[in-house]
Amino acid sequence: MLITAIVVLAVGTYAIRLSGVVLRDRLELSEPLQRLLPMSAAALLAALAGTAALMAGSEFAGFARPAGVLVGGLLAWRKAPFVVVVVAAAAVTALLRLAGVE
């Protein structure tokens, strides 16, 4: 059963990707829509990041995780090396949890 589900999802994913290549020359998008698509992708990614940062399942993740994400975001904005961003975000989250801040 699990293998069947994996194969069906793989075929569906491949079909969606293939349809983009096949329909590229046949489908004309308007200029406003062409400008809107990249912004909608960015908005979707921002919503996903916000949900992952603030929620643990269906409940609020507490204040430690968003604080770590905020520190990581600030360091990334200041163009710190990736390793520094990840270690600092994890350290802030761990230290806040160690201090009893959930």
Average pLDDT over residues 25-43: 88
- The separation between the first and the last C-alpha atoms of the chain, rounded to the nearest angstrom, is 39
Average pLDDT over residues 46-51: 92
- The burial of 20, by beta-carbon neighbours within 10 Å (0-12 exposed, 13-18 middle, 19 or more buried), is given as exposed
The answer to whether 101 and 64 have CB atoms below 8 angstroms apart is: yes
- The burial of 72, by beta-carbon neighbours within 10 Å (0-12 exposed, 13-18 middle, 19 or more buried), is given as buried
Average pLDDT, the chain: 92
pTM to 2 decimal places: 0.63
The C-alpha torsion from 15 through 17 and 22 to 24, rounded to 10°, is 150
Give the pLDDT score at 28: 83
What does R_g of the chain's alpha carbons equal in angstroms?
20
Picking from 71, 63, 61, 62, the residue whose alpha carbon sits closest to that of residue 92 is 71
Structure tokens, 89: 């975000």
